[in-house]
Amino acid sequence: MDRETITSQKVLERILFDESAEPKALPLSLLAHITSNFSDDKEIGCGGFARVYRGMLDSGTVAVKKLHDLVDMDEKKFSEEIHCLMKAKHKNIVRFLGYCSDTQGEMVVCEGKLVLADVRQRLLCFEYLPKGSLDKQITDT
């Protein structure tokens, strides 16, 4: 684990345990590390817009929501979503801990040619609730 990932993990752990701490930008390397590179065995949910993974920290667990690549959301809309999540604070709402918006160049085949394309990844990090989603709690009772 590199220095940035170690430092970021400590910041995330501090946010997790300090309810007054504000959500922060998190590096993709940290979110990949704590989810074992988004491995299938860490997946805890999947929907039309994202997959959710269990992220393991040294002192706790978080939920990492990785938006699907096909979700058409420009930077402005993603920023607005983050802003709304940062303002939403209530005992009955899962705590928002951080976010990641990462764009990297990647060689892909387009019309039979290799081209350098921007590959965007957007992720949201929340506190982990071990009992699952509200709809599961309601339907199981």
pLDDT in tens, the chain (141 residues): 788 888 999 999 999 999 999 999 999 999 999 999 999 999 999 988 899 999 999 999 999 999 987 656 778 888 999 999 999 999 888 999 999 999 888 898 989 999 998 888 999 999 998 876 666 666 655
Q: What pLDDT shows up at residue 141? A: 54
Binding residues for ATP: 66
Query: Binding site residues, as ranges?
Result: 66
**What is the dotted CATH code of the domain comprising 3-139?**
3.30.200.20
State the pLDDT at residue 133.
63
Domains of the chain by residue range: 3-139
What was the pLDDT predicted at 130? 83
The predicted structure's pLDDT at residue 33: 97
Check residue 4 and give its pLDDT. Answer: 87
List of long-range contacts for 51-56, beta carbons under 8 Å, 24+ apart: 54/128, 55/31, 55/125, 55/128
The pLDDT assigned to 135 comes to: 63
Instruction: State the Cα torsion 27-77-15-123 to the nearest 10°.
Output: -40
Q: What is the pLDDT of residue 77?
A: 87
